[in-house]
């Protein structure tokens, strides 16, 4: 029980008495006039409400009949007051903090989006069941087939040679054959290879033709794609995009929009490109595994050089493709994870140099 000294003010008038308020743990509040006979003035279970919190002023109790109890101690705060009251008061008396939060909130968001969420979603990826990755992969390939791919026009012999090369890689690296699948597709945007979260790797007709005379380069490319799958890069991207969407939805209240985005997570995959760190990890996977096939890591540099050169000639087409929608552009940008760092981009040269500088084992 808390006993507080204060003033009891009658409803609708200026009449007031010195009084004490006894607040019981049950929420029962008893007001007694401070006279020799301790006359009972009010006794309420919990229908009273707290007055407005203003820093430096006491917090009144307002009774249903309009009477007030005003504590003598202006700093006294009723223990049952909601945290919301207290936070509001705290903020009002800490305007500097409020000002700082205007800076801190964007910083917090930035930190969440760039560090906390990637880290959390990367950790969460370990718990995503294979079936989710499988359906995401199938969904993505289905959309790509509808929007960007045509059936391969490679000869059976060309396909057989690459399939044999692929089979050799899967066997040597002891990767599960049920998971890793190679797909041939014709793709209007030239030489390319890409990895889907379920373990599907797609090679375009152009990349097969481009590397026909240099199978080691194609091995380097396939290893890079396997690297993306082994590191679960696509799943990480999807988890990260979903978590970011959720964060913003929670902060700004657009949960419905978030629901739609999460349902479309598979297609969201098509719109987000791998980060530079992911590309570097996939590159390293390729560099580290090439020697197992008695191929120098320099084959990776050869592959990149071939790819860059093959695209320099039709690079102008990529830029002048302005009649396509932004969404299609975005999909094409992320598909071109080999090409988003075209020769003008310093990263490409860096990646080529890195591969060339590795001592062959
Ligand atoms: Zn890549």
Identify whether residues 314 and 187 lie together within a single domain: yes
Examine the pLDDT at 343 and tell me if it is beyond 60: no
Task: Of 36-50, 117-131, 217-231, give the range with the top mean pLDDT.
Answer: 217-231
| pLDDT at position 316 over 50 | no
Give just the sign of the alpha carbon dihedral 172, 301, 295, 314. Answer: positive
Please tell me which of 47-61, 84-98, 200-214 the model is most confident about, judged by mean pLDDT: 200-214
Predicted local distance difference test score (pLDDT) of residue 168: 96
Looking at residue 317, its pLDDT comes to 45
The protein residues having their C-beta less than 5 angstroms from ligand 1 (an ion) are: 279, 282, 337
For residue 37, give the CATH number of its domain.
Answer: 2.30.29
pLDDT at position 323: 46
Domain count, the chain: 2
Q: Is the pLDDT of residue 95 over 80?
A: no
Task: Output 129 or 271, whichever has higher pLDDT.
Answer: 129
Q: How far is the CA of 167 from the centre of ligand 1 (A)?
A: 20
- Indicate whether 247 and 147 sit together in one domain: yes
- The predicted-structure confidence for 152-194, as pLDDT tens digits, reads as follows 999 999 999 999 999 999 999 999 999 999 999 998 888 889 8
Q: Separation of 40 CA from ligand 1 center, angstroms?
A: 80
Residue 119 resides in a domain: no
Q: Quick check: 17 pLDDT over 90?
A: no
The pLDDT, as a whole number, for residue 256 is: 59
116 in a structural domain: no
How many residues does the structure list for the chain? 361
What's the pTM value of the predicted model, to 2 decimals? 0.61
Higher pLDDT, 88 or 321: 88
pLDDT at 137 over 50: yes
CA of 337 to the centre of ligand 1 (A): 5
Residue 312 lies in a domain: yes
Question: Within a domain: residue 352?
Answer: yes
Residues 269 and 234 sit within 8 Å (Cβ to Cβ): yes
What percentage of the chain has pLDDT greater than the value 90? 27
CA of 195 to the centre of ligand 1 (A): 8
Shared domain for 134 and 79, answered yes or no, is no
Bridge partner residues of 40 (DSSP): 32
CA of 279 to the centre of ligand 1 (A): 5
Give distance in angstroms: CA of 161 to centre of ligand 1.
Answer: 23
Ligand 1 geometric centre to CA of 306 (Å): 15
Domain membership flag for residue 110? no
Could you write out the three-class secondary structure of 28-54? CEEEEECCCCCCEEEEECCCCEECCCC
Q: Are residues 329 and 272 in the same domain?
A: yes
Please check whether residues 67 and 207 belong to one and the same domain.
Answer: no
Q: Is 64 in the same domain as 150?
A: no
Structure tokens at 274: 């791998």
69 plus 133 within the same structural domain: no
Q: Are residues 174 and 307 in the same domain?
A: yes
Considering only residues 264 and 308, tell me which one the structure prediction assigns the higher pLDDT: 308
* Nearest residue to 331 (alpha-carbon basis) of 154, 159, 148: 148
Per the domain annotation, does 94 fall within a domain?
no
Q: What is the pLDDT of residue 113?
A: 74
- For residue 42, which phi and psi values (nearest 5 degrees)? -135, 150
Q: Please, what is the average pLDDT of the chain?
A: 79
Quickly state the pLDDT bin for 359 (edges 50, 70, 90).
Answer: low
Identify the domain boundary among 55, 84, 113.
Answer: 84
Domain containing 52: what range?
2-84
Instruction: Compute the distance from residue 225 Cα to the ligand 1 centre, in Å.
Output: 6
Per-residue pLDDT of 236-290, as tens digits, reads 887 777 777 777 776 666 555 555 555 555 455 555 577 788 888 999 999 999 9
Assigned domain for 206 exists: yes
Q: What's the burial of 93, exposed, middle or buried (CB within 10 Å: 0-12/13-18/19+)?
A: middle
What's the CA-to-centroid distance between 232 and ligand 1, angstroms?
Answer: 12
The residues, ordered by sequence, that sit 6+ positions from 41 with a Cβ below 8 Å of its Cβ are 8, 17, 19, 31, 32, 33
- 349 Cα–ligand 1 center, Å: 15
- More reliable by pLDDT, 235 or 97: 235
Describe the strand order of the beta sheet including 16-23 as a list of residue ranges. 40-44, 29-33, 16-23, 2-9, 68-71, 61-62, 49-50
Lowest mean pLDDT among 1-15, 27-41, 59-73, 225-239: 27-41
pLDDT of res. 79: 78
Contact 171, 292 (CB under 8 A): no
| Residue 361 CB-density burial (10 A; 0-12 exposed, 13-18 middle, 19+ buried) | exposed
Alpha helices, H only, the chain = 83-93, 95-111, 117-124, 130-147, 156-172, 205-210, 215-230, 233-252, 255-263, 265-271, 276-289, 298-312, 315-319, 326-335, 346-356
143 and 68 in a common domain:
no
Say which DSSP state 111 is in: H
Q: Edge-to-edge strands of the sheet including 200-204?
A: 149-151, 181-187, 200-204, 193-195
Looking at per-residue pLDDT, the higher value among 277 and 208 belongs to 208
């Amino acid at each position: 029980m808390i006993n507080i000294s204060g003033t009891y003010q009658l409803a609708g008038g200026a009449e007031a008495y010195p009084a004490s308020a006894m607040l019981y743990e049950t929420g029962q509040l008893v007001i007694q006039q401070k006279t020799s006979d301790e006359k009972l003035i009010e006794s309420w279970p919990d229908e009273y409400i707290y007055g407005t919190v203003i820093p430096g002023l006491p917090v009144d109790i307002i009774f249903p009949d309009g009477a007030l109890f005003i504590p003598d101690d202006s700093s006294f705060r009723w223990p049952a007051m909601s945290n919301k009251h207290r936070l509001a008061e705290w903020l009002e008396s800490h305007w500097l903090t409020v000002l700082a939060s205007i800076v801190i909130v964007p910083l917090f968001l930035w930190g969440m989006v760039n560090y906390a969420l990637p880290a959390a979603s990367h950790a969460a990826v370990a718990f995503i069941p294979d079936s989710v990755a499988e359906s995401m992969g199938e969904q993505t390939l289905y959309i790509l087939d509808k929007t960007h791919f045509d059936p391969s026009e490679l000869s059976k012999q060309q396909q057989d040679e690459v399939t044999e090369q692929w089979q050799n890689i899967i066997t040597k690296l002891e990767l599960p054959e049920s998971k890793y699948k190679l797909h041939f597709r014709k793709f209007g945007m030239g030489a390319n290879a890409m990895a889907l979260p379920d373990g599907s790797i797609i090679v375009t007709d152009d990349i097969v033709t481009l590397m026909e005379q240099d199978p080691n380069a194609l091995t380097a490319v396939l290893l890079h794609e396997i690297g993306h799958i082994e590191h679960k890069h696509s799943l990480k991207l999807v988890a990260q995009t979903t978590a970011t969407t959720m964060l913003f939805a929670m902060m700004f209240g657009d949960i419905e929009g978030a629901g739609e985005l999460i349902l479309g997570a598979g297609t969201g995959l098509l719109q987000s490109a791998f980060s530079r760190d992911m590309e570097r990890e996939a590159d390293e996977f390729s560099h580290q595994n090439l020697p197992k096939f008695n191929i120098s890591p320099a084959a990776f540099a050869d592959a990149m050089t071939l790819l860059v050169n093959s695209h320099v000639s039709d690079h102008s087409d990529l830029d002048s493709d302005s009649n396509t929608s932004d969404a299609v552009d975005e999909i094409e940008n992320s598909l071109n994870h080999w090409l988003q760092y075209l020769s003008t981009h310093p990263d490409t040269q860096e990646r080529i140099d890195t591969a060339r500088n590795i001592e062959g084992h």
